[in-house]
Structure 1
Amino acid sequence: MTEKALTIITQREDLPQLFGKRIENQAAIEEIITKIETESRSITFDIETKEGQATCRSLAAKIASAKSTLDKAGKARKDEYTVTADLIQVDRNLVKQRLQLLQDEVRQPLTELEQREKQRQAQHETKLAALGYLDVQDHDRIGSKFIKERIAFLENTVIDDSWEEYKSQALETKDNALRILRPEFERVKQREYEQAELARLRAEQVQREQQEREERIAQEATAKANADAERQAQQIAQESERKEREAKEREARLIAEKESAELRAKQQVIDAAKRERDAIEAERLEVERLEANRQANKKHRDAIFIQAKDDLMANGIDEETAKQVIKLIHVSKVSNVTIKF
């Protein structure tokens, strides 16, 4: 049986007379439908070959043509015999329904093949998108650790024949990403090292300045205490010349006072050093608090910008346009529209 037989079936001159006709309560047109179904299903093909796909496509088209031809014959019969219009319409619907099902049945292998092809392409395109590299503007924010992990992922991704026709594009995408990420990793890593070194030097400077202040205060307090003690010792010596007994008593009292004065001086040094350290610590904590607030505000703003961008992209706007829209709103270039932080 060949596809040509389908055309011959629908070339009968008595086709219109079959519509609305009943033979033992069965539509006469069903004989034609059944014959088309039988002949169509007798045609075999290999859907995995180009020839088989062409045969399937052609056969489905022939069935569609037969459906149209029979429907037109039915319509002609209906126009000619309005008395049997309802029965003819039923037959037309029967033709369309049965032959549509047959058309779908015959074309099903081709439809499934096309669906598998679309799924295969989608899987490759998803894998290809995963090879893309991050925007260079994000590198300083995400840090060298993430860039290093990204480079490792790309280096470990094997581009072989399993990528099929996407192999060359995947190789190019991977090479381009690595070409950009490798020098970016070194640059970001160097920047992070410089920032850490600067922070260390600043901490050392603060500690050195604090130690110098404490030593200076201690030296001044000790010098003052020694001067006071020396002055008091001279007074004791003068008094001893005038009155030996009183001098001994005064000497003992002054020694005690000297010790007390030294203790007070030492305590003053300790108290002054503590006040200085407390002031420095308070200043450091205030700087850290202000920096933490600034970082939190920046992180909050960045999160809102990213969310707004993602929302715009989710509604069909590409990434670059979404970024530009958000930027215009943020700098008040769009009337009556603001970003709520």
Structure 2
Amino acid sequence: MTEKALTIITQREDLPQLFGKRIENQAAIEEIISKIEFESRSITFDIETKDGQATCRSLAAKIASAKSALDKAGKAKKDEYTVTTKLIDADRNLAKSRLQALQDEIRQPLTELEQREAQRKAQHEANLAALGFVNIQAHDHVGSDLVKERIVFLENTVIDDSWEEYKSQALEVKDNALRILRPELERVKKREDEQAELARLRAEQAQREQQEREERIAREATAKAKADAERQAQQIAQESERKEREAKEREARLIAEKESAELRAKQQAEDAAKREREAIEAERLEAERLEAKRQANKKHRDAIFIAAKDDLVAGGVDEEVAKQVIKLIHENKISNVTIKF
């Protein structure tokens, strides 16, 4: 940024006046902006060097300062116009409110007259609409009493000068309504008589159908009761037969079980007796075997004792002494000496 451009931005006293001004369809501030752009772009620097980076940073800061200065000048110009605009709007509102009040004041009598006339016409038109209300015949559920009430209302309605300019129209509407409703009354009465007769016939038909239903229900109930009684009697007979059959089967089962128990008891007694006999026989045989074995053992020992005695005697031992020695050895009363059987 050159000193020349900076002086233009910071020292020109007419700077705010340039905003909003046009010279040959061009903004007056355009000249200053163009000079800043031209002179800023005319400065060259090597961004790869520290000096070049410092120049770039300083130039960008000066452009930012110029931007702030221009924006501040423009805002100052706008604030001047804002004050003026608010004063103008206040004057406009004052003029509108004061003159509107004056307009309402001057026109008030005419406005009240127009309102009264509108209310008068609206009332007459409402009365006329009520007088001409004849769409009763469009609804079949409407009774003759309502139609008759409507006819009496029309006949009792007086059409006089109070209807003002609506008098002739009211007379015509009343006549038309009566011309419609009087035959309508006859039609409704006829319809009600037909409906009453139809209702009577339907009631009689319903009564007959009800009586027939009750008689049918009674017949069905009688038949059902009879069928239920027969079914119950059959069930009782079947139950009795079943109980009798089950009693016989139970008795036969008890007899069979008793006989089977007796047979089992007899067989068990026989088996027990047989086992006892076999046990006795086994004990006898075992006793005989043991006795035979004992006798054999005794005979064997006696033979050994005799042989030992004879050997001792043969060796010069007295026979009685020899017997005593054999006895002592057999009874293990001599240490380290046994008899081999």
Coarse TM-score class (shorter-chain normalised): 0.3 to 0.5
TM-score (norm 1): 0.34
TM-score normalised over the length of structure 2: 0.34
Give the structure, 1 or 2, with the largest relative contact order (CA under 8 Å, sep 6 or more). Answer: 1
Larger-Rg structure? 2
